[in-house]
Structure 1
């Protein structure tokens, strides 16, 4: 990769990484010799339909105090605030992405829960976090908490048995 882990994970306020777009670009560039990105244009529209990157180490969802870690997320390079515009590799445009971390709490291999959560965003599912359980807010939103993959159910049993 072209930069340090702290560079890619540097926060730009709230739960946003300042250089995540550059991370997506650098990871794709690094994999380009081994991956034909055109294989992931499933509908023939000239765009990679979904890119998922599993990155080394913990994510900031596990250790929020470490502002040099990358937040697991789903998004688009074309979104407001991205430091990298969509780019082309192997004749297709890469724009939408999702990513998650290799390690969970206590720096052991993370379960599949956060991967499932972020990949579910790729299919259009929204977050259903309770405002009373996330980010210091007090209003109850859905009430599903650990029983819902899109709330905090991705963390059940260290992510090894996520909620449906």
Structure 2
């Protein structure tokens, strides 16, 4: 092959900065980047509220997963503001989950979209509790729940007190 029909790689792009032209990145594209970044964070069970998750379950069933559920973005010329609604998994400190999501979103948007993130608002609307089947529950969750390790509370007979 002569190489003319092959797509240009990003690293093959010329280093020269071209001032002509305009790039428009749609809100939907940014929202998908945000949704994918947030879903990768440990402790995030799902994105969206109950209603949007119900609709998302129907979309998943027909193979049309909505990666933007629970994500709202405002995209400007050079900045992005993000609102995320999520459900956390029990056993993860909620403030740590929120901070990790915020960091993942900042990094993904700045790296992949090329815009400055001015804020990422995280709303945790629920906590997912895994089934209490000890065989299937992860050791991390069992430790956090103290399942099977709780000691009985000692009882004291008041009449035996001096």
Question: Going by fraction, where is strand more abundant, 1 or 2?
Answer: 2
TM interval, shorter chain, is under 0.3
Larger Rg: 2
Give the structure-2-normalised TM-score.
0.26
The TM-score, its normalising length taken from structure 1, stands at 0.26
